[in-house]
């Protein structure tokens, strides 16, 4: 019973759909999740928030979570924008940004003059016809277009309904320019590996808990981690028949996952 929960040293938690349901109103915590985070910390397990959130800086994102009662800090967050900045600096890339207004400060130190790549995030209301055409023209004007996408999610749920995620817009630009985007964020192996390194935990000692069957569960398993799917957030019953990805276990929510894991310790 619950063999999947043995010999754990660290937990990676997806945030939206696991800790809270996001929405135009800021979001609503998922029942039991704040208490579950506190119990993880009290247990001595390492904890890392591993998110594809790109609608806010880490500072504002953590402030919002704290406001909902979560005991978390900026130093516990692995997110795509800082990872992308690392890559931009490493390769001397100057981005044209198509991202959410609130994410722009994460790129404050990056040279954005005379762009030689496009960085695409979940721009939400900034996904206008004009902005998409502009990003497209920057890309198609390059001899070898470089498109960096902060995640490749298909869609997510907000309190007012499902929204197309960055992956859909990534596919639009990929097709129009005949390029393949470089994905920074889940399910990229490099991204999960930096989260593990930041925790100081090996893949086989870690469990990823998420609501996204492909980006959370599939991605973490590809890195050698165990992975659970919660039945909250964007979970749909049809996920349980996914042709390629099978979680190590399903749990109703984060609280239940933490119950089972702590019982095994």
Interacting residues with a copy of itself (CB under 8 A): 124-125, 127-129, 132-133, 136-137, 140, 154-155, 161-165, 167-169, 171-178
Nearer to a copy of itself, 74 or 176 (CB): 176
Q: Three-state DSSP class for 139?
A: helix
Nearer to a copy of itself, 109 or 178 (CB): 178
Nearer to a copy of itself, 149 or 232 (CB): 149
User: Closest separation between CB of residue 130 and a copy of itself, Å?
Assistant: 9
Nearer to a copy of itself, 34 or 123 (CB): 123
Residue 151 has which token pair?
A: 């995640």
User: Closest separation between CB of residue 179 and a copy of itself, Å?
Assistant: 11
* β 226-230/249-251 pair status: parallel
Nearer to a copy of itself, 92 or 161 (CB): 161
Q: Give 197's contacts (C-beta < 8 A, 6+ positions apart).
A: none
User: Closest separation between CB of residue 119 and a copy of itself, Å?
Assistant: 18
H-type alpha helices, 99-213: 129-140, 166-177, 189-199
Could you tell me how far CA 133 lies from the centroid of its own chain?
26
User: Closest separation between CB of residue 214 and a copy of itself, Å?
Assistant: 10
User: Closest separation between CB of residue 164 and a copy of itself, Å?
Assistant: 5
Contact 109, 95 (CB under 8 A): no
- The backbone region for 20, taken as left when phi is positive above 0, alpha when psi lies in -120 to 50, beta otherwise, is beta
């Amino acid at each position: 019973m619950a063999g999947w929960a043995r010999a754990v040293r660290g937990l990676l938690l997806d945030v939206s759909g696991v800790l809270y349901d996001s929405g135009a109103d800021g979001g609503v915590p998922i029942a039991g999740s704040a208490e579950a985070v506190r119990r993880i910390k009290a247990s001595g397990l390492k904890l890392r928030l591993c998110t594809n959130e790109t609608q806010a800086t880490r500072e504002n994102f953590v402030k919002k979570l704290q406001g909902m009662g979560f005991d978390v800090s900026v130093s516990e967050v692995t997110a795509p924008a800082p990872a992308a900045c690392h890559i931009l600096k490493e390769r001397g890339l100057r981005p044209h940004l198509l991202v959410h207004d609130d994410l722009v400060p994460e790129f404050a130190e990056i040279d954005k003059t005379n762009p030689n790549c496009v960085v695409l995030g979940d721009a939400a209301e900034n996904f206008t016809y004009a902005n998409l055409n502009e990003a497209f023209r920057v890309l198609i004007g390059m001899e070898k277009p470089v498109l960096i996408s902060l995640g490749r999610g298909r869609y997510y749920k907000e309190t007012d309904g499902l929204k197309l995620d960055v992956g859909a817009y990534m596919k639009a630009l990929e097709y129009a320019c005949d390029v393949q985007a470089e994905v920074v964020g889940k399910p990229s192996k490099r991204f999960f590996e930096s989260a593990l390194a930041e925790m100081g935990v090996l893949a086989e000692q870690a469990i990823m808990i998420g609501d996204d069957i492909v980006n959370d569960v599939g991605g973490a398993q590809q890195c050698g981690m165990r992975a659970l799917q919660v039945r909250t957030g964007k979970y749909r019953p049809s996920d349980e028949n996914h042709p390629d990805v099978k979680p190590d276990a399903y749990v109703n929510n984060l609280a239940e996952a933490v119950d089972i894991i702590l019982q095994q310790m």
